[in-house]
Chain A
Amino acid sequence: MANSLRLYLTCIRNTLEAAMCLQNFPCQEVERHNKPEVELKYVYVSMILICRNEAEKCLIETSINSLRISLKVKQADELENILTKKFLRFLSMRAEAFQVLRRKPVQGYDLSFLITNYHCEEMQKHKLIDFIVQFMEDIDKEISELKMSVNTRGRLVAAEFLKQFI
């Protein structure tokens, strides 16, 4: 792993370890309701933005009973832009399988996670953080592999098509 990515992920891991202290908190506006406060912002929400560079950043919004992590993935060219959009949309549509994934990313970002106190009760906190960090590490590899496979297929198709003209 590149050193810059390792330090970026370490910073995010340390921030999540400090931020993921969630507890149950009933909704202050609606009786007998319990909602993630980071989405509604009825109580104070603190935001931490960690940028690796101009193109890659991570926004961590914390509140008393929930935590939202939004990621902006590096997209070097138009092809990566399209592949990232399609791939992350594919994942977002299957958000129930991930449990902590948000169906729609926060505006300005490619992907968002929403972790509530219930997730922290059912799952281990350090495992959740490991998952998020591993996800960030793997997403770059996935996009690169997709790009390579598109280029390879394009090259093969072009070679086959042009053979008829030889």
Chain B
Amino acid sequence: MGEDTNDDVPTPPPHQHPHRGFLPDHNYVTEADIISTVEFNHTGELLATGDKGGRVVIFQREPEGKTEPFSQGEYNVYSTFQSHEPEFDYLKSLEIEEKINKIRWLPQQNAAHFLLSTNDKTIKLWKVSERDKRPEGYNLKDEEGRIKDISTVTSLQVPVLMPMDLMVEVSPRRVFANAHTYHVNSISVNSDCETYLSADDLRINLWHLGITDRSFNIVDIKPANMEDLTEVITAAEFHPFHCNLFVYSSSKGTLRLCDMREQALCDKHSKLFEEPEDPSARSFFSEIISSVSDVKFSHSGRYLLTRDYLTAKVWDLNMENKPLETYQVHDYLRSKLCSLYENDCIFDKFECAWNGSDSVIMTGAYNNFFRMFDRNTKRDVTLEASRESSKPRAVLKPRRVCAAGSKRRKDDISVDSLDFSKKILHTAWHPAENIIAIAATNNLYIFQDKLNSEMH
């Protein structure tokens, strides 16, 4: 299918409303501020981002019906905390970055919220809770901490709890360390709510959320001799409701579906999804651009969405030999692979996302552009997340990139003027509504469907 062939805006049109700059006062981008992951919780009420500085920022959606007319549904900072610190592995003389690779929320179990965050090596479980009462009354000192004269203490006083301003507390609950030799790229919570998996380049481990000193290795693709290494694990995820199924993608463009019921070790997959290579299109870059950078189960559990360098693909779990749908994200880059290889952009890992009803998929591109594809109407759109183009409550205009050689229309951008340093790698879609979160380097943009907001 073509690229931006429609002049009318495809559905759903994600008119932006409102936008929030993450750390908006920074005019320059420090490395630590670059957002490295974005994730909504299961209700969409909270949104968490992680950055290269090891920080996690949680945004909360304001309750509807506030005094300001447009504030409804707006996401505001709820809590910020330092999840990971830089470390040094003395045995291997390696620095361990504090960069948050992934965040996953746990299904809510009581009034508090829980999330898992991981850097390259260590996964942490955090509790986010609210407190609105504090104890008052000491026997031996006053509230300022001054010691009382003991002779004045004639009766015992039990502290009482008094209301106070709401305080959000974040506390570390568990640290799952020392189980990964390589870099952790994915974590995924199982539908049984008691286990989760963590995947690195060569292995996938299964953990119990309550046990930190033991994990089970379920996939190991490390060859006996590292020189025989031809493939690495790039992403892994559990099925949304079949607790026994998980999928992992590889740098060779394949997906493997494993069933934990069959064996304790899932080295043998139950399904292998792979598209046969087109020999005529083979080039030096074929293998690099076919590497899967992200895999996501659809909410229905029936489909898999994958992203490789140039395309997004939808696979049906029941069809292993080819994808059901293939979407060109930025096919105009096919002729520029050489320079993208030279500036390392070809190794960028773009993520992808489903909308709540699995009818639209979204993924990022360069020049702060991101793409949406409607699976039913086959319409697609390119949008831009930038401060200039997205004033609060303005409607996002579709953008169009004009491939080299083709006729250029007004407002079109030529491939040669794309800014490859502005890339949108991380995106997230609200689980039920048309609200999307886009991480563009150090900025987080939250766009909301206009129709949707008017319905409120």
Do A and B come from the same complex?
no
Residues of A within 8 A of B (CB): none
